[in-house]
Chain A
Amino acid sequence: MTGNGWLQIAILFLLVLAVTKPLGLFMARVFNREKTFLDRILRPLERLIYRLTGVDEGREMRWTEYAVSMLLFSVVSMVVLYVIQRVQGYLPWNPQKLAGVPPALAFNTAASFSTNTNWQAYVPETTMSYFTQMAGLAYHNFFSAAAGIALAIAFIRGIARRQAETLGNFWVDMTRASLWVLLPFCLVGSLVLVSQGVVQNFRAYDTVQLVEPQQVPHLNADGTAAVGPDGKPVMDTIAQQTIAQGPVASQEIIKEFGTNGGGFFNANSAHPFENPTPFTNLIEIFCIFAISAGLVYTLGHMTGSLAHGWAVWAAMAFLFLAGVTVTYWSEARGNPLLAGVNQQASATHPGGNMEGKEVRFGVANSALFATATTDTSCGAVNAMHDSFTPLGGLVPLVNIMLGEVIFGGVGSGMYGMLVFVVLSVFIAGLMVGRTPEYLGKKIESYDVKMAMLSLLIFPLIILTLAAISVVSSSFGTSSIANAGPHGLSEILYAFTSAAGNNGSAFAGINANTNWYNIALGFNTLIGRFLVVIPVLAIAGNLARKKYVAPSLGTFPVTTPLFSALLVSVILIVGALTFFPVLSLGPILEHLLMHAGTTF
C-alpha cells in the first residue's frame, strides 16, 4: 500500500462527503416540489410530458398503486427491450449488421437492464447494435435508476408523513428524477468524459494494422486448437485489429451515475474508450456514489432529522472504508505463490497483485473501483474480480451479500438500508424498555414481517440457485473455468450479483447458457421486485401511523452508538447467512493459497 494510493482513496471519499449535502438538499427540493434553479427550463417540459401522458400530477397514490405502477412500467419496458433485441437486425444504426439476439439471452438482458442490474452474459460489441444500446439499454439505465430513486423517496415519505394514506405519485417522481436529477448531470458529465477521450460516434468499427503482428493458435471448427502433421500447433498470424466504436460517452455517464454498470464494451470500465484516464476513473467512482450518498441526506432532510441521516451515512462510510481497506491491503500484498517476483510498489512498478488489472489504474484504484461498484448496485468494473486475491475478491462478494446498502444502488441502497434500520431499531429498541420507535413511528409486527420478508428473499434465491448449480455437473459446474473453492466463488458470485442487481461478473464462468441466462434472469427480477413490494408495504404502513413524540426514553437514532449498532446488525444478520458458504469459497481458497494450492 502506498501513500499515493491512500491519497486517491481519500480524495474520492472527501468528494463523496462534499456532494452529499448539496445533492441531497437538491433532491429533497425536487421531490418536495419546491423551487429549484432548473425549474425555468424543466417545468414546461414536465408539464408537457404530463399533458401527453395524461398524468394528473396532483394525484397521490397509496403504496399498492405505487407498487403496481412501478411493476407495470418495468414489465412494459422489459418487453420492449426484449423485442428490440430480437429484431435489431431490421432496425437502424446497425453498421456492423449484428443479427437478432437469441431468446434466452434476450430475456436475461431485458430482465437485467430493467432491474438496474446490467448483468451482461453477452459481448456487447459483437451482440448489440447502436440502436439497441441507445434506445434499449441506455433507456433502462435512466429509467431503472429513476424508478429506484422514486422508490426510495416513497419510503422516506412513508417515514416522514403522519397518518397519511399516500406516498406520492410514481409517475411524477419518475419524471422529476429523470428530468431534474439524472439528465442535467449526465449531460455535463458525458461532455467531461468526451474531453478525456471517451468516444461518441455512430461509425462502423475501425480496422487498424498492428504495429507488431501476433501469432495465435489456429482453431478448428469445433473450437479446439489445430495440430499440424508435425505434431506442432498450427499458428495464425494476426496483423489487423478491429476497434469497436459507438455512442459511448452518453451511456458511460449514466452507467455510473445510475449505478447500472452495463458496459458499452465487454471490458467495461477497463476499456480505454470507456475509462481512458485516472481522472475519468475518479469521476466514474464518484458518480457511482453521488446519488446514493445524497439520498441519505435527503432522508435526514425530509424526515426532519439531519442527525439521523448523518448517522446512517456514517455507518455506510465505515463499511465502505473497511471494505476498501481490506481489498487494497489484500491486493497490495500480492500473491505469496509468486516467489521471487518483486511485488513491491516502486516508482516504476505498481506492486501487488496486478493480474487482471489495468496498468493505468494500478492496485489502489482497482481496489477502490471494485469496492465502490459492489457497495452500490453498480457492477461496472475496471479490473477483473476473478483475478483478485481470495480476500480481495471476498470483499466485493460480501458487499453485495450485505444487500448493497453501503450507499448502495440509487434508491435501492437507501430502502435496503432502511430495512436494516427498521430491524436494528426493533431488535435493540426493546432494550431501552419501550416499543421500538423509528423517527416517531412505532415498529410493529407488520413492519417486522415485511422487513423480514424482504430480507429473506435475498438468501433464498442466492443460496438455493447456487446450491442447485454446484451439484449439477451437466448445466451448473460445466460453465466454470476453475475447480475447487474458486469455482464455487464464481457460481456464488454470479447468483449474488444477479440477485443484488449488481451485474458485475466475477468472470471465469460462461453464463451465456440457457440455465444461467434464465436462472440469473429470474434472480434479477425477484431480487428487485419481490424485495421492493414488502419495502413499499412498510412505507405505506409507516405513513399511516400516528406520530409518537420523542422523549428522553426514546431510542436514539442519531448517535455514533446507533451507527455502530446498525453496522453490527448488517454484519451479523447479513454475514451470518452467508458465512458457511463463504468459508468453503473465498476463505478456504485464501487459506489454501497460503498453503501453496491454487485453482
Chain B
Amino acid sequence: MAKKNQSKSLWDAKIVRRALLDSVMKLDPRTMMKNPVMFVVEVGSVVTTILLVKDALGHQAHLGFNLQITLWLWFTVLFANFAEAMAEGRGKAQADSLRRAKSETMAHRILASGKIEQVASTQLRSGDIVTVTAGEFIPADGEVIEGVASVDESAITGESAPVIRESGGDRSAVTGGTRVLSDCIKVKVTSNPGETFLDRMIALVEGAERQKTPNEIALNILLAGLTIIFLLAVVTLQPFAVYSQSPQTVFVLVSLLVCLIPTTIGGLLSAIGIAGMDRLVQHNVLAMSGRAVEAAGDVNTLLLDKTGTITLGNRQASRFVPAPGVPEQELADAAQLSSLADETPEGRSIVVLAKEKYNLRGRELSTHQTEFIPFTAQTRMSGVNLNGFQIRKGSVDAIERYVTENGHPFPPEVRAVVEEVSRAGSTPLVVAERSRGALGVIELKDIVKGGIRERFEHLRAMGIRTVMITGDNPLTAAAIAREAGVDDFLAQATPKDKMDLIRKEQGQGKLVAMTGDGTNDAPALAQADVGVAMNTGTQAAKEAGNMVDLDSNPTKLIEVVEIGKQLLMTRGALTTFSIANDVAKYFAILPAMFAATFPVLNALNIMHLKTPQSAVLSAVIFNALIIIALIPLALRGVRYRPVGAAILLRQNLLIYGVGGVIVPFLGIKAIDMLITSVGLA
C-alpha cells in the first residue's frame, strides 16, 4: 500500500477536502492550546471579532479595514490547521487501506488435545497455536513453528512478490492480515488483539500515537518564549504610544503581535513532524517513535553487515589457480566435480565458472559409483569420492591437514596463492585429490554492490562513519573494506563483538545505527540508538529495534538517516525564516502606526507602502499566506545534500536567513500594490 501512495500528489483532491474540514474542526481551543503560538493568534482573532461586532453595532469608522484584519487573522489560524491536517491526511489515507487488511478472519486453533476448533481471530491470545493453509489469511502475528509456506505480504509491504516463511531460523515471523499462498504452516500466536503489528502500524501512520519528539519540544519552548517576548513588546507599546499621543486600536496592535510571533514555524511545526514520519512510511520504513527518526539524523556511526548490504551476499568463484605441475583444466574439472552436489550459491558458482571458462558440462553422476561428502563443521571440507578418486575442497587449514595426512607435501606456491587471494579480499578454497595432493586454489570473490562506494562517500561527507561487520578473517575483511570504501571493519565478529563495538562507540559519545534480522541481533538492535529490523526477520529482532524496514533492505538505513536529517533541517530552516521575517514586518507596521502623529516616521516606511491601513493589512496577509506557501516545503522537507555541516549551514543561512529577511519586503510590497489597486485599503 505504501508504494501505491508514492504516486499520490501532494495536493490529492480527497486529502485536501478532508483537510479543509479538519482545519475548521481544529479551531477547538482545547486542541489549539497545544500550540501556544497559534493559540495566541486564535485568542487575538476572537478579541478582534468581538470588537468588530461591537464596532459594527456602534457604526464605528474603519469597519472595512477592521473586518479585513479580523478575517485574515482567522485565515492565519485556519492555514496553520490546514497544514497539519494535510500532513495527517496522507497518513489517514494509508490507515484506511491498512484497516481493510485487518478485516476479521476465522482461525483454526489447535487445542492441547490436538483437536482443531474454529474461532474468530479476535479471540486469539498470545501463546495460541493455529494452522493456516493456502488461501487463508494469517489471523494474528506469530512465529512459524512447523512447515514452510509462501506468503503474500503485499498488504503490509506493498511488495507483490511472495516471500518464504519457514519454521526455525531467521525467517519465521509472520504478520496478521497477510495471506498464505501455498502449503500449510503452524503458527504460534505472539500478540493479543489490539496489539498486533497491523494495529501499531495503523496507529503510527494515523499519528494517533504521535508524541512530540525531544527537539520538537525544545523548539516549542523557544517559540513560546519568543511569543511571550513579543507579547510584552506589543502590550507595553500601547503606554508608550499613549505617552507619544498616538494611541493605537486593538486591531492594529493584534496585527503587530500576530506578525511578530513566529506563526510561520508555529503553524507548520507539527505538519513537519507528521510529514517526516510519513516520508519514512513512503520508504516502507515504520518508525516506532518520532524520537527514533530524530535520532537517525544524529547518527555518527553506521554498523553495516557485509553480506547483503555491502556485498551482493553471495561469493562467486572467479578464478582457478592451479598448483605447480597441475594443468588448469584438471583443477577446474576437479573443482566442478567436487561442487556438483554443493547446493550453496558458492558451490553453484564454481560449477558455472568451470562451464563457462573450460566448457566443462555439468555431468549427471549416477549415485551408485559416487559418494558425496557433505561439509561439516568438524572437517571443514566437502567433496566427492568417484571412481576411486577422492576430491576434497575446503579452507586452507583443513585441506593442508588432509594432504599431509595422506603423505603429500603442501606446496608453498599454493600457500602463497592463498595469501594473495585473501589479501585481495576474496576467499580461497583449496582443492585436493587424495593421491595427488593439492591441485590448486579456487578464488571466491565477494562482489561489492555497485554504487555502494559513492554512498559511503556521501555518508562520510555527512560526518557519519561506516563500520563493516563481517565474519571473514581480518585480511579478507580489510580488502573488502578498502574496495567498498568503509571507514572501519570488525572482522570475525560474534554477536558479542558487535555489542561491545556499539557500547564502545556510545561510550565515546557517538550515536550508533545498525540493521539486523536474526534473533542473535536482537540485543545489539536494542542497544543501538537506531535499530532497523528487517521485516523478514524474527519477531525478537523486530521488537528489539525501533524501526522496521518492510522491504528488508539493509542499505535503507542510509535513507533513514537522510530523512531524520531532513526533518531537523526543515524545522531549523523554517524557524530561521520565521524569525528573519520580523524585520520587514516592523518596517511595514511601525511607521503605519505612528506616521499619522509623526509624519517624519515615514522615513522608516522604506517599502513606500501606500497607506497606513494598506501597510498593516499587507503585513497580516503576507503573514497568513506564507504559511500556505510553505506547506509543500514543510511536507516534502528541505533538500538534504551530504556536504558537511559547515557548507550546509552556509547554504541554509543564506536561503532561509538572508532570504527570510528579503522575501517579506518583496512580498508585503507586492500585496500592498495589489490591495491598493483593487481598492481594499
Contacts and interface: CB of A to CB of B under 8 A. Distances in A.
B572 A552 contact: no
B153 interface: no
Q: Chain A contact residues: over half helix, strand or loop, or mixed?
A: helix
A164 B575 CA distance: 32
27 contacts: A426-B218, A427-B576, A429-B572, A430-B571, A432-B649, A433-B568, A433-B640, A434-B297, A448-B219, A455-B229, A456-B225, A466-B240, A470-B242, A488-B244, A548-B510, A548-B511, A551-B300, A561-B649, A572-B583, A579-B590, A580-B240, A580-B256, A583-B594, A588-B594, A588-B601, A591-B600, A595-B600
B648 interface: yes
A431 B240 contact: no
A341 interface: no
A553 B218 contact: no
Interface string B179-221: 0000000000000000000000000000000000011011101
A456 B579 contact: no
A551 to B, nearest CB: 3
Contact of A549 (B226, B243, B509, B598): B509
Nearest to A591: B600
A197 interface: no
A148 B546 CA distance: 46
Contacts of B462: 433, 552-553
Contacts of A587: 601, 604
Interface in B555-608: 564-566, 568-569, 571-573, 575-576, 579-580, 582-583, 586, 590, 594, 598, 600-601, 603-604
B372 interface: no
Interface string A524-561: 00000000000000000000001111011111100101
Contacts of A591: 598, 600-601, 603
B656 interface: yes
Given A459-B233, A552-B461, A552-B463, A431 B652 contact: yes
B236 interface: yes
B657 interface: yes
B598 A556 contact: no
Interface residues of B, number: 74
Given A559-B646, A561-B646, A561-B653, A552 B460 contact: yes
Given A433-B569, A470-B240, A551 B464 contact: yes
A68 B508 CA distance: 34
Nearest to A423: B222
B217 A445 contact: yes
B650 interface: yes
Given A549-B510, A588-B601, 8 more contacts: A428-B657, A466-B236, A466-B240, A467-B238, A573-B226, A579-B586, A581-B237, A588-B244
A471 B648 contact: no
A587 B652 CA distance: 33
Contacts of B652: 428, 431-432
Interface string B638-661: 001000111011101100110000
Interface string B404-420: 00000000000000000
A523 B566 CA distance: 44
A452 interface: yes
Nearest to B645: A432
Contacts of B598: 588, 591-592
Nearest to A548: B509
Contacts of A468: 239
A455 B228 CA distance: 11
* Majority SS at the chain B contact face: helix
A464 B240 CA distance: 10
A180 B149 CA distance: 81
B241 interface: yes
A547 B243 contact: no
Nearest to B650: A561
A494 to B, nearest CB: 14
A556 B569 CA distance: 15
A459 B566 CA distance: 34
A576 interface: yes
B653 A428 contact: yes
Interface residues of A, number: 65
Nearest to A487: B243
Nearest to A441: B509
Nearest to A562: B649
Given A428-B653, A455-B229, A561-B649, A463 B236 contact: yes
A443 interface: yes
A460 B298 CA distance: 36
B503 interface: no
Interface string A405-431: 000000000000000000100111111
A565 interface: yes
Contacts of A559: 646
Contacts of A448: 218-219, 221-222, 225
Interface of A: 423, 426-435, 440, 443-445, 447-449, 452-453, 455-456, 459-460, 463-464, 466-468, 470-471, 477, 484-485, 488, 546-549, 551-556, 559, 561, 565, 568, 572-573, 576-581, 583-584, 587-588, 591-592, 594-595
B232 interface: yes
Given A445-B217, A548-B510, A549-B509, A433 B236 contact: no
A440 B510 CA distance: 10
Interface of B: 214-215, 217-219, 221-222, 224-226, 228-230, 232-234, 236-244, 256, 260, 294, 297-298, 300, 460-465, 508-511, 564-566, 568-569, 571-573, 575-576, 579-580, 582-583, 586, 590, 594, 598, 600-601, 603-604, 640, 644-646, 648-650, 652-653, 656-657
A568 B260 contact: no
B463 A554 contact: yes
A594 B603 CA distance: 12
A456 B572 CA distance: 21
Nearest to A585: B240
B463 A551 contact: yes
Nearest to B657: A568
Nearest to B655: A431
A90 to B, nearest CB: 44
B217 A554 contact: no
A546 B232 contact: no
Contacts of A579: 586, 590
B664 to A, nearest CB: 13
A480 B573 CA distance: 45
Given A555-B645, A556-B646, A576-B260, A427 B236 contact: no
B565 A428 contact: no
A471 B242 contact: yes
Given A467-B240, A580-B240, A428 B586 contact: no
Nearest to B604: A583
Nearest to A429: B572
Contacts of A467: 236, 238-240
B236 A430 contact: no
Nearest to B575: A427
B583 A435 contact: no
A555 B645 CA distance: 6
B569 A431 contact: yes
A520 B260 CA distance: 29
**3 cross-chain pairs, A with B, having the tightest CB-CB distances, nearest first:** A430-B572, A553-B463, A433-B565
A546 B217 CA distance: 20
A313 B620 CA distance: 39
A471 B234 CA distance: 16
Nearest to A449: B221
Nearest to A463: B236
Nearest to B245: A484
A581 B238 CA distance: 10
Contacts of A466: 236, 240
Contacts of B241: 584
Given A444-B214, A445-B217, A553 B644 contact: yes
B649 A577 contact: no
Given A444-B214, A471-B242, A548-B509, A463 B564 contact: no
Contact of B225 (A447, A455, A552): A455
